[in-house]
Amino acid sequence: MSANDAVLIEDHGAKWVVRLNMPERRNALGRDVVAGITRAAEQAGRSKVLRAVVLCGAGDKAFCAGADLKERQSLTPDEVRVFVGQMNFAFRSIERSPKVWIAALHGACLGGGLELSLCADLRVAQRDAILGLPEVRLGILPGAGGTQRLPRLIGVARAKELILTGSRITADHALALGVVNRVADDHEAAAHALADEVGLAAPISVMQAKRAVDEGYDLHLEAGLAWERACYEVTIPTKDRLEGLAAFAEKRPPRFQGE
Ligand code: COA
């Protein structure tokens, strides 16, 4: 299966791999890649069996080198505006996906590439990964959510250091800042391991927990707690909740059906 030639999908049932596939351009975000991301997110959302997606890049040099600077040179200012809108739409469709997305980062993870990974639920970096938001060194600023998502993830001061200097950091530094969840020798294997763990949990619980965090994060605590109750409520009538209790009582692993 493929979203298009620029973005490939490997379907392993409960787990998919979505791979940016323009290694000769270091998987830079051009029109085809962005359209492929949107399509992959739509396809993922429709799958009844899919639980978690590993998002990664082809080739050994980069997860994604950010905006396609070659394509960008040929765009008019109005075309740039339209394209940035499409990029934001594509990224948001990952963030709002009912599935769990795990970004597996290696090599260059710069600009829009880092911003894309910030839309995933979890990030795993290979030791060679270099992360950064170099946009201010290119006469622009992070325009695919970086100025909004990075401060929410790691705090304003830490985010500003990266955003205002455009500096590049190592995987270990990114781990210390909280940009990535894990550093691993093999980023894809580590992402797969996380995806498999997600696959063991109750599907409705995971989906509702993601909504509880994502849509509750910016709320006042009282409103956030009410939102958490609303998400919890969805799990109460499920068969999987009863299965979880039965499995505990019978000292066996649960067999969740997503119902
Ligand atoms: N857009 C378009 N093409 C890109 C690209 C980008 N963002 N990044 C790399 N490429 C292309 C290069 O132009 C080169 O093409 P060529 O072979 O036709 O000359 C090819 O990918 C390989 O790039 P190269 O620099 O030789 O590879 P590398 O592995 O040594 O370095 C990077 C990779 C990503 C570290 C380096 O290319 C880079 O710094 N790119 C710019 C990243 C950036 O500033 N992104 C932010 C955009 S807002």
25 lines ligand 1 (CB under 6 A): yes
Q: Which of 115, 144, 171, 190 is catalytic?
A: 115
pLDDT tens per residue across span 63-118: 999 999 999 999 999 999 999 999 999 999 999 999 999 999 999 999 999 999 99
> Hey, which of 26, 70, 140 would you mutate to test ligand 1's pocket, going by the most ligand atoms within 8 Å of its Cβ?
26
Residue 176 falls in the annotated catalytic set: no
69 lines ligand 1 (CB under 6 A): yes
Name the average pLDDT for the chain.
Answer: 97
Cα–Cα distance, 57 to 1 (Å, whole number):
16
Whole-number Å distance, alpha carbon 68 to ligand 1 midpoint, is 9
Residue 115 falls in the annotated catalytic set: yes
- Secondary structure class of 170 (helix, strand, coil): strand
pLDDT tens per residue across span 178-229: 999 999 999 999 999 999 999 999 999 999 999 999 999 999 999 999 999 9
14 lines ligand 1 (CB under 6 A): no
Task: Report CA 229 to chain centroid distance, whole Å.
Answer: 25
Whole-number Å distance, alpha carbon 61 to ligand 1 midpoint, is 10
Question: Ligand 1 atom 3: the closest Cα is on which residue?
Answer: 25
pLDDT tens per residue across span 123-141: 999 999 999 999 999 999 9
pTM for this predicted structure: 0.97
Amino acid of residue 46: R
Question: Ligand 1 atom 4: the closest Cα is on which residue?
Answer: 25
